[in-house]
Structures are given as C-alpha cells and as structure tokens.
C-alpha cells in the first residue's frame, strides 16, 4: 500500500536491526486519514469473505480495526491484555508469549461477542513472531467461529510470524512488508514477491 510505505519511509525510525518505531502515526500519535485508507484497503481485500466480526488486540490494533469495521460495516472486538473489572464471566482466553518482552500474558475476550456463526477477520498493527495473531486465532477457535484471514499493517518479513501463520493455512494480508532494517534503513518486500 503506497501511502503506508511512503509514510513509513518519511516518519519511521529504525531503532535497531529488528525494531521500527512508528509513533508518529500508529503506536502513539495516530494519523486518522492514513487509518481511514488502511481501513479501505483491508476492506477491499476481504470484501468477498462475508466477514461478520473483526478481532484485534489492544491497543495499537484498535485504530486500523475500527476503520476497517466502518468500511465492512461490522463490529470490532479488541482482546484485553489485563483483566478488566467488568469483564469477568465467560471469557475466552489464550496465552501469548512475547519474545520481544520475554513474558507471557493472558489475553481475553467475552464469549458474548463471538460465536459459531461468526467469520472473523483478525487485524493487528505489527506482525513479528506471530504470537499475538496465534493467540487471537486460538480465541476464534474456542468460540467455534471461523477465521477468514489476518490483516496486518506492518509485517516484518525477517521474523517468522508470517511463515508460521501461512504454514497453518491462514490467509495473511500485510499492507507493508519489511525485508530488513539493517544499517538503519527500511527496505521493503515488493508486492507479489516472497
């Protein structure tokens, strides 16, 4: 997606060979116009898939998910990372291990909002090792709902999440795929290549 790639080139900061900071438009300050275009792009890619729900995880997955939900006219659910006072009963939960943070967290969703009739589009801001997406997929399975696909804003192609998910037969659509962050530079994988 050209506008996203252009914005990453202009505003992204390479923190190390493995981490890209995008605080100016996605992870801290949010660019609504860009999120709107991201929503249109995901919606175009999944418009034939009879999506009934979008599932993401707090916090940075919410903005692109809401814009996609607006376009597809479906509700957006975000999995919680911390136990909520009001979210106590009938939880669907999964364990998510973060290699980056070296910690494991439970994520949860109320079973009230997902059921066996749902066709779910999972969305997240980054795909690194894929553990968050796998946890979200696990929650969809617990609800006996169907996973229609996974939409990722920025995929780091040099980490193994994309391969892991695609090997499980899941459809992964990433709007920007990064080949490498070596030497302080962002290089992209061109659409249509692996």
Find out whether 129 is annotated in a ligand binding site.
yes
Q: Two tokens at 80?
A: 């919680």
> How many whole angstroms separate alpha carbon 61 and alpha carbon 97?
17
Find out whether 115 is annotated in a ligand binding site.
no
Among 131, 139, 148, 186, interactor with ligand G4P by CB under 6 A: 131
Choose among 132, 88, 127, 123: nearest CA to 109: 88
Number of residues that bind Na ion (CB under 5 A): 4
Contact mark string toward ligand G4P, 89..108, x via CB under 6 A? ---------xxxx-------
| DSSP at 66 | H
60 binds Na ion (CB under 5 A): yes
25 binds ligand G4P (CB under 6 A): no
The CB-of-124 to Na ion minimum distance in angstroms stands at 5
- Residue 74's SS3 state is coil
Q: Which residue is nearest to Na ion (CB)?
A: 60
Q: Residue 172, by phi and psi: left (phi above 0), alpha (psi -120 to 50) or beta?
A: beta
Among 74, 91, 121, 128, interactor with ligand G4P by CB under 6 A: 128
- What is the maximum alpha-carbon separation in the chain? 49
Q: Which residues bind ligand G4P (CB under 6 A)?
A: 19-22, 27, 59-61, 98-101, 125-132, 156, 161
């Amino acid at each position: 997606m050209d506008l996203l790639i252009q914005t990453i080139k202009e505003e992204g900061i390479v923190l190390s060979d493995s981490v890209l900071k995008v605080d100016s438009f996605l992870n801290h300050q949010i660019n609504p116009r860009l999120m709107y275009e991201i929503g249109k792009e995901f919606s175009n890619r999944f418009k034939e898939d009879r999506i009934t729900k979008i599932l993401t995880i707090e916090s940075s997955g919410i903005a692109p998910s809401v814009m996609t939900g607006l376009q597809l006219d479906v509700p957006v659910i975000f999995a919680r990372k911390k136990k909520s006072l009001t979210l106590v009963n009938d939880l669907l939960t999964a364990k998510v291990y973060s290699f980056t943070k070296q910690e494991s967290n439970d994520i949860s969703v109320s079973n009230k909002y997902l059921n066996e009739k749902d066709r779910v589009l999972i969305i997240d801001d980054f795909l690194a090792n894929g553990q968050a997406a796998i946890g979200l997929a696990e929650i969809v399975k617990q609800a006996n709902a169907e996973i229609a696909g996974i939409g990722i804003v920025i995929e780091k192609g040099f980490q193994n999440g994309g391969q892991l998910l695609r090997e499980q037969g899941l459809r992964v659509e990433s709007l920007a795929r990064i080949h490498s962050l070596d030497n302080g530079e962002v290089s992209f994988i061109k659409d249509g290549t692996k």
